[in-house]
Amino acid sequence: MSQRPSWQEPPTLAGQSTKGVTLGGVLLIVLVPLWIVVLTSLSTKGAINRAGGLVIWPDGITFEAYEEMLKGPTVRTALLVSLGITIIGTAISMVVSVLCAYGLSRSGSFGHRFILVLLIVTMFVSGGLIPTFLVVTGLGGYGQWWALILPGAVSVFNILILRSFYSSTAAELMDAARIDGASDWRILWSVILPTSRAVTAVIALFYAVGYWNSFFNVMLYMPTESEKWPLQYVLLTYVNRGVGMPGSVNAGFGMAHSQTAPLSLQMAVVVLTLVPLVIVYPFVQKHFRTGVLTGAIKG
Amino acid sequence: MNEGLTRRDRLRRDRSLLIMVAPAVVLLLIFSYAPMVGVITAFQYYDPLIGIWDSDWAGLDQFQQLFADSRFWHALSNTLYLSFVQLILFFPIPIVLAMLLNSVLSERVRNFVQSVVYLPHFFSWVLVITIFQQMLGGAGAFNQWLRSNDLATWDVMTNPDTFALLVTFQGVWKEAGWGIIVFLAALAAINPGLYEAAAADGAGPWRRMWHITLPGLRGVIVLMLVLRLGGALSVGFEQFLIQRDAVGHEAAEVLDTYAFYYGIATTNYSFGAAAGLFKSVISLLLIWGANKLAHSFGEDGLYRK
Amino acid sequence: MKPELNRRSFIGAAAMAPLLAACGGAPQQKQKVGTNTKTGLRAALPSYVPSTSVKADIASVTGSGGAVTEPAFLSYPSGGIATVQGVPGKGGSYTAVTPLWGTVPPANNSFYQAMNKALGATLTMKPADGNNYDTIVTPMAAAKKLPDWIQLPNWWNAKFGTDRLVGTQLADLTPYLAGDKVKKYPNLAAIPTGAWQACVWGDKLYGIPSFSTNFSVPGYITYRRDILEAKGITPDQVKSVEDYMNLGKELTDAKRGVWAFDDVYTYMGFAWDIPLKWKVEGGKLFHKYELPQLLEALDWHYKLAKSGYLHPDAIAGRNADSNARFYAGKVLISGGGAGGWHLADYESGVAADKNYRRGAFDYISHDGKSPGRMYMGEAARIISYLNINLKPEQIEECLAIANYLAAPYGSAEYTLINFGAEGVHHTMKDGVPTATEDGKKFVQASTFPFLASPPLVISNPGADQVTKDYAAWQAKNVNALIKPVFWNMNISMPQQISLLETSQAIDDAIKDCYHGKKTVAEVKDVIDSWKKSGADRLKGWMTENVLNKYGTGQ
């Protein structure tokens, strides 16, 4: 199974075992909690209440939590909404960020230092929640899809990473292409993008995860439009059942259920959050192994 | 390369670059800069129902209160201390882990480890701390085992003295696997031909790491380091909010929780805004300093000098 | 470059416009501070005409301090009669926003449709996540975008700025409900006066109370009755805080993972006669922070935390899991919020341990010498408001709808609101309304009652023992309930004064103390610096603007 290149030394026993022990340890401290989470999501109410919390050893297994959640009539729409927001949002963010990163990658270009400062300031200075809300609603964003995407579409952090890759990995290629008379659009499209697939994949993943998990903008801009909620927000309402309700609220709420959500449900939400990532991640990971520059130089 | 060019020439030459930058700048102007009017509230007794234009002016009153509060200075020094501990104990781990993974020959092992270690990133802090409490807490699995063997118990979850180490360890557990991704991308960008040539020249694995791998990562490492220093006043929020009761409010108070509790949570919006503005200004100074430092070491930092 | 520049400045201006519009322009109403006058309050309050339509299985008991226990029902009344003739609505359309701690049902589902048909109006329910409700509503109010009908729970009054929203964004209901005018809406007239009192600001009535009760307590000390009874422990044996400490010793068995106590500070403090905020002694006003008994109580709790009888997770502040610890029998005595003793609690407990039974100790005084006491809370905490932009006839239509929603327990309306339509959303099984598949999917009982509801009753169809236990405990303790000063009085303060009323620093220090991390002396230091930093300003303001002008309200 090993694909050791001919120039590399054969592995030593000491080296291999050190690596093995380290990685084994890392795996263990990640997999044990994962096991606890998955097991709890599959446990019966009785098993959880007997454990008094998360379940470590199987005691009673049931799929009830998943059934309850996936049966909910809103979940299917919410899944589509989430996919839509994630795909459209990631596309917009990537176009804007890649363009911006490339546009700033040439040191000494017109205004590039000023624009960088303009960008970096936004990482640390914020006007606060209510002013932002007033701007977005003032532009008609209340209850609109774009309010979930545009206010957070630009991550300066991501742009800086992209920019750093662009300006360090391909400086010579860029200059060469420019001397050949290629336009910047052309250089970006046929030199930069093909040679920096790994970082593009990583940044796309960052954005996609951000959109997929985001709920704060939903809470602000469409807190009552339940038919427009993305999956994460719908799932949140399953988990948050009764959590923040002060105990001193009047007795009982009549027939209302003021108890907290079963732990199994909470853990099922965690598992459901992980599923799309487990599906998507291998496609991102694929790009890590291509020796990117070789392709460009040889081709 | 700018010698002899007028501003107009440079503008013409870089026109398409500026057009590329425009969409991002416009979005930031609307959604980041326009709301920055809100910074004014730090100089007011702001009431959201009355609005920014009609709230009473406070001058520097909020800042005077802020600077007179010993709890604020405590939160600040606590934040810097935690930031320092995290920088030393946390920052290098994803880099080491990425290099270690990259050196694993078996693709199957590498892929499996890679696709598992990043998962904790998606656990909420509530969940992470619940798991820690159930493992290491006073009634957790570890201490119950100690009790059943008549050994002295050791409640690390409520000990303020070791709290810095605890939160750093929690942070490593949750974020290190996710943090390696950027470095993996940087490793993928290193030309394998370089390794082959070095090996041919007789360089062993350690020398190759020193002369090829690390230089290949240097740009990203410096960038991340500069950003980390700029974010030195942000050590996390939720993680501390949740564990505030566990270790006592002194040990767990950081700038963000301070601004939250003494600002928004108590509807003292202007006071919170003042604390926020203080943090913004210091952060900008820090990142400016970090960038200068990078330049003085001959590195690019955020931009080339 | 010119066109681009123009576009940018245009976008900039467009973005700024809302800030200008939302923040300025409108004439500012000067905030009215103080509270209600006696005569003004009396004039604003609706008359009280109790409902007689359903007879309780366990009747209410009135206590010496004015508290009244909630009536209890063992089986759900069958064939409930309608209290509203015809449909209350006139075909209007309204949007209502309420907090919901639970799963949001799909919009426009068959339950909503059935309700709209019965109401004769289109009432679009828009429940929002209850846990973040304060974050959701605050910007809405700042942007002046409140819906037609909104629920503002009163524990967030300071956050919402309810005292400033009434009259500027929320409608005055006095002209429609004051005095005998309420008799037009008999179900609203059946809501006790105390609950309405919590809806009055500046001598005008603005809110409609839900879940009103005359047995309003913050909570009690609750325990595992099944386990303690097996050990021969009954509430009669617990007369003082010393008895509690002895129980701690008897019940804790850390090796088996059992601790006697979870956090009890919140509800135990009353044993030392610590009020929620204020106390008047000899005509002088005292804030709870400056009462010597606060330190006395903290001393006991500090000892408890150090004794090893308090569950380690409680010391770690993990309150979210406290129910799970209780069900698992890992703690036996706990602080219980008043909302926690019901059917769902019973079901959760029995799932863990089939013998599960909840009990509560009686209210005591700390030394066991004087009779036990407990300060009553507001008679209503869930209060809904109508938008000021509604026309008078629209307000009347909404009030008619509120009257429908406030139909008494067991009536035809109540059944529809809480269980949906019979045959579609629920069926009756052995006198228990049981949800059908559609009922489980669509009926969310905590939506409509958040706009208006009848007074609370105790009812747990299918778990009569819970009803009997809880009703018996209420009856036994009704005499311990006394009204605190400023009870049910809405006080409007200038912002800078209200910021002094609670101190995050002291509350933090108190918490650290009962978790055993700060000594009482350290708490005292924090309190002393609060006293120096403006406590007198707060007390002076309260004395001058509330106590001297309006009295204690008792």
Which pLDDT does position B145 carry in this prediction? 87
Tell me what percent of the residues of chain A surpass a pLDDT of 70: 84
Q: Which neighbouring-strand residues pair with C115?
A: none
Identify from C20, C104, C112, C226 which residue to disrupt to test chain A contact, counting A C-beta atoms within 10 A and taking the largest count: C104
Amino acid at C336: G
Could you tell me if residue C27 is inside a domain?
no
How far is B299 from B267, CA to CA, in rounded Å? Answer: 45
Which pLDDT does position A299 carry in this prediction? 28
| Total domains in the fold of chain C | 2
Instruction: Give every strand in the sheet of C219-224, ordered side by side.
Output: C259-261, C331-337, C219-224, C358-360
Inspect the interface and report whether the beta carbons of B22 and C4 lie closer than 8 Å.
yes
Which pLDDT does position C14 carry in this prediction? 40
Which pLDDT does position A295 carry in this prediction? 36
> Each residue of A34-44: pLDDT tens digit?
888 899 889 88
Q: What is the CA radius of gyration of chain C?
A: 25
C245-to-C222, C259, C361, C372, C408 alpha-carbon distances in Å: 15, 12, 14, 17, 44
Neighbours of B7 (CB within 10 A): 10
Instruction: Indicate the burial class of C212 (C-beta count within 10 angstroms; 0-12, 13-18, 19 or more).
Output: buried
Which pLDDT does position C15 carry in this prediction? 41
Tell me what percent of the residues of chain B surpass a pLDDT of 70: 98
The torsion angles phi and psi of C418, rounded to 5 degrees, stand at: -100, -25
Identify from B105, B267, B283, B285 which residue to disrupt to test chain A contact, counting A C-beta atoms within 10 A and taking the largest count: B105
Q: Domains plus CATH for chain B?
A: 1-59 (no CATH), 62-296 (1.10.3720.10)
Could you tell me if residue C119 is inside a domain?
yes
Identify from C252, C492, C517 which residue to disrupt to test chain B contact, counting B C-beta atoms within 10 A and taking the largest count: C517
Could you tell me if residue C5 is inside a domain?
no
Which pLDDT does position A73 carry in this prediction? 63
Are C389 and C458 contained in the same domain? yes
Are C152 and C122 contained in the same domain? yes
Contacts of A251 in chain C (CB under 8 A): 70, 211, 213, 215, 338-339, 341, 456, 458
**Distant-in-sequence, close-in-space partners of B162: CB < 8 Å, separation ≥ 6:** B156
How far is A235 from A241, CA to CA, in rounded Å? Answer: 10
Residue at token pair 């007074």: C455
User: If pLDDT is split at 50, 70 and 90, which confidence band does B305 have?
Assistant: low
Which pLDDT does position A214 carry in this prediction? 86
Are C399 and C424 contained in the same domain? yes
Are C367 and C384 contained in the same domain? no
Neighbours of C230 (CB within 10 A): 10
Q: Which neighbouring-strand residues pair with C222?
A: C334, C360
Which pLDDT does position A259 carry in this prediction? 52
Domain carrying residue C536: 219-375+493-550
Size of interface A-C (CB pairs under 8 A): 219
How far is A156 from B231, CA to CA, in rounded Å? Answer: 13
How far is B107 from A100, CA to CA, in rounded Å? Answer: 35
Going through chain B in order, the beta strands assigned E by DSSP cover 44-45, 56-57
Name the residue in chain A with its Cα closest to that of C335: A247
Which pLDDT does position C122 carry in this prediction? 96
How far is C514 from C527, CA to CA, in rounded Å? Answer: 15
Which pLDDT does position A171 carry in this prediction? 65
Size of interface A-B (CB pairs under 8 A): 278
Contacts of C259 in chain B (CB under 8 A): 139
Determine contact, residues A92/A194, Cβ cutoff 8 Å.
Answer: no
Are C97 and C137 contained in the same domain? yes
**B139 close to C (CB below 8 A):** yes
3-state secondary structure (DSSP) of residue C360:
strand
Three-state SS annotation for C7-51: HHHHHHHHHHHHHHHHHCCCCCCCCCCECCCHHHHHHHCECCCCC
Sign, Cα dihedral of C258, C263, C265, C268? negative
Write out residues 259-288 of C within 8 Å (CB-CB) of B. Answer: 259
Contacts of C320 in chain B (CB under 8 A): 126
CATH number of the domain to which C287 belongs: 3.40.190.10
Write out residues 220-279 of A within 8 Å (CB-CB) of C. Answer: 220, 223-227, 229, 233-234, 236-238, 240-260, 263
Where are chain A's structural domains?
13-51, 67-298
Instruction: Note the Cα A239 to chain centre separation in Å.
Output: 20
Name the residue in chain A with its Cα closest to that of B192: A291
Q: Which residues of chain A have pLDDT under 70?
A: 1-4, 52, 72-73, 169-171, 239-261, 289-299
Could you tell me if residue C303 is inside a domain?
yes
Amino acid at A218: V
**C502 close to B (CB below 8 A):** yes
Q: Which residues of chain C have pLDDT under 50?
A: 1-29
Write out residues 50-79 of A within 8 Å (CB-CB) of C. Answer: 50-53, 71-74
Amino acid at C441: K
Full-model pTM: 0.88
Could you tell me if residue C180 is inside a domain?
yes
- What average pLDDT score do residues B11-22 get? 90
Are C230 and C209 contained in the same domain? no
What percent of the residues of chain C are helix, what percent strand, and what percent coil, each to the nearest 5?
45, 15, 40
**C12 close to B (CB below 8 A):** yes
Q: Distance, in angstroms, between B252 CA and closest chain C CA?
A: 12
**B265 close to A (CB below 8 A):** no
Helix (H) or strand (E) holding C428: strand C426-429
Helical pair A13-41 and B92-102, crossing angle rounded to 10 deg: 110
How far is C167 from C29, CA to CA, in rounded Å? Answer: 9
Residue after which a domain boundary falls, among C448, C478, C508:
C478
How far is A280 from A205, CA to CA, in rounded Å? Answer: 9
Inspect the interface and report whether the beta carbons of A95 and B23 lie closer than 8 Å.
yes
Q: Distance, in angstroms, between C351 CA and closest chain A CA?
A: 5
Q: Give chains near C: 3+ CB pairs under 8 A.
A: A, B
Could you tell me if residue C28 is inside a domain?
no
The torsion angles phi and psi of C34, rounded to 5 degrees, stand at: 110, -150
Strands C259-261, C331-337: pairing kind: parallel
**B143 close to C (CB below 8 A):** yes
Are C331 and C209 contained in the same domain? no
Are C288 and C329 contained in the same domain? yes
How far is A214 from A203, CA to CA, in rounded Å? Answer: 16
**B267 close to A (CB below 8 A):** no
How far is C354 from B148, CA to CA, in rounded Å? Answer: 27
Contacts of C509 in chain B (CB under 8 A): 249
Are C437 and C511 contained in the same domain? no
Neighbours of C204 (CB within 10 A): 19
Are C190 and C226 contained in the same domain? no
Instruction: Name the token pair of B252.
Output: 């767990």
Inspect the interface and report whether the beta carbons of A49 and C15 lie closer than 8 Å.
no
Determine contact, residues C155/C381, Cβ cutoff 8 Å.
Answer: yes
Three-state SS annotation for chain A: CECCCCCCCCCCHHHHHHHHHHHHHHHHHHHHHHHHHHHHHCECHHHHHHHCCCCCCCCCECCHHHHHHHHCHHHHHHHHHHHHHHHHHHHHHHHHHHHHHHHCCCCCCCCHHHHHHHHHHHHHCCCCHHHHHHHHHHCCCCCCCHHHHHHHCCCHHHHHHHHHHHHHHCHHHHHHHHHCCCCHHHHHHHHHHHHCHHHHHHHHHHHHHHHHHCCHHHHHHCCCCHHHCCHHHHHHHHHCCCCCCCCCCCHHHCCCCCCCCCHHHHHHHHHHHHHHHHHHHHHHHHHHCCCHHHHHHHC
> Each residue of C72-96: pLDDT tens digit?
999 888 778 899 999 999 999 999 9
Which pLDDT does position B7 carry in this prediction? 82
**Distant-in-sequence, close-in-space partners of A296: CB < 8 Å, separation ≥ 6:** A173, A191, A194, A195
Could you tell me if residue C400 is inside a domain?
yes
Q: What is the CA radius of gyration of chain A?
A: 25
**B215 close to A (CB below 8 A):** no
Q: Which neighbouring-strand residues pair with C387?
A: C170
Which pLDDT does position A197 carry in this prediction? 85
Could you tell me if residue C463 is inside a domain?
yes
Are C362 and C442 contained in the same domain? no
**B280 close to A (CB below 8 A):** yes
Determine contact, residues A19/A4, Cβ cutoff 8 Å.
Answer: no
- What average pLDDT score do residues B207-224 get? 89
How far is B97 from B88, CA to CA, in rounded Å? Answer: 15
Are C181 and C227 contained in the same domain? no
Inspect the interface and report whether the beta carbons of A245 and C101 lie closer than 8 Å.
yes
Q: Does the structural domain A67-298 have CATH classification 1.10.3720.10? A: yes
